[in-house]
């Protein structure tokens, strides 16, 4: 299966520390070596970096490690291919426009079958189950809502629609439009909320620590979501199977 990483904050924050551990899971501390990608929202825009190389040896990963891009919503993915060949078209995260907003999606799991996309304006470019599921999900939302709904209404719709897809296989995913971040657990997904008083965190995949009290303000709040905990000295919350959380300003609100 793949590895997911998400971040949702109340102020623009860089993900350098989490990414330092996360990128090692793409071929060094874990066997996920079929490409990787990361998306940073900046206001209404989105920077999307993709590579079909393993993240541990990717020059683009080195760029991300050295470039502290600040964002309130980030989604990253390390791929272990189950469906589709290893190429850029099949590399997560995927991006589409809906209601005049960019939507970013990354999936960990395997879907045995998928609903038809005949007649949909959302069509996959690659040949993964993940991208097809993303297109179906956006098409279903577009049919339900002519304009962007309230986030409570969107959460309710997503809970119903994603349960339908989860009946077809394993469906862990992260989804964001740059304002909120949705996280759904099917098998493995964990999160942590960092807020004042901040402490020192140590990575599980490298001997690297950071004292967050020295790089934050008392008002900062950061939610980090990952397939497996990224640190070994903090308490992460394991999500329940079938749970869909909506993160806003660095904390779950649904």
Q: Which residues are the active-site residues?
A: 2
Report CA Rg, the chain.
Answer: 17
CA distance 44 to 189: 27
HSE, CB side, 13 Å, CA atoms: give it for residue 187: 13
Side by side, the strands of the sheet bearing 70-78 are 45-51, 36-42, 70-78, 3-14, 221-226, 190-195, 237-238
Nearest to 8 by CA among 234, 221, 235: 221
CA quadruple 123, 139, 186, 246: dihedral, nearest 10: 120
H or E element in which residue 163 lies: helix 151-166
Contact (Cβ atoms closer than 8 angstroms) between residue 97 and residue 135: no
- CB under 8 Å to 170, separation ≥6 — which residues? 1, 108, 109, 110, 111, 186, 187
Is 137 in a helix, a strand, or coil? Answer: helix
């Amino acid at each position: 299966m793949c590895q997911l990483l998400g971040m949702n904050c109340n102020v623009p924050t860089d993900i350098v520390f989490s990414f330092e551990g996360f990128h090692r899971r793409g071929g060094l501390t874990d066997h996920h070596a079929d490409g990787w990608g990361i998306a940073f929202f900046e206001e209404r825009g989105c920077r999307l970096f993709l590579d079909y190389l393993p993240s541990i040896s990717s020059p683009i990963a080195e760029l991300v490690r050295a470039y502290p891009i600040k964002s309130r919503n980030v989604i990253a993915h390390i791929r272990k291919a189950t469906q589709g060949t290893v190429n850029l078209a099949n590399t997560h995260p995927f991006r589409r426009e809906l209601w005049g907003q960019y939507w970013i999606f990354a999936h960990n799991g395997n879907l045995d079958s998928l609903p038809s996309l005949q007649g949909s304006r959302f069509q996959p470019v690659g040949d993964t189950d993940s991208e097809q599921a993303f297109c179906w999900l956006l098409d279903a939302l577009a049919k339900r809502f002519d304009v962007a709904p309230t986030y409570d209404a969107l959460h309710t719709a997503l809970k119903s629609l994603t349960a339908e897809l989860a009946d077809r296989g394993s469906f862990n995913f992260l989804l964001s439009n740059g304002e909120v971040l949705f996280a759904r657990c099917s098998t493995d997904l964990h999160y942590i909320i960092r807020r004042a008083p901040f402490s020192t965190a140590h990575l599980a995949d490298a001997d690297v620590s950071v004292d967050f009290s020295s790089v934050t303000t008392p008002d900062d709040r950061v939610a980090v979501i990952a397939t497996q905990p990224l640190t070994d000295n903090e308490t992460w919350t394991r999500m329940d199977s079938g749970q869909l959380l909506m993160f806003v300003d660095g904390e779950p609100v649904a």
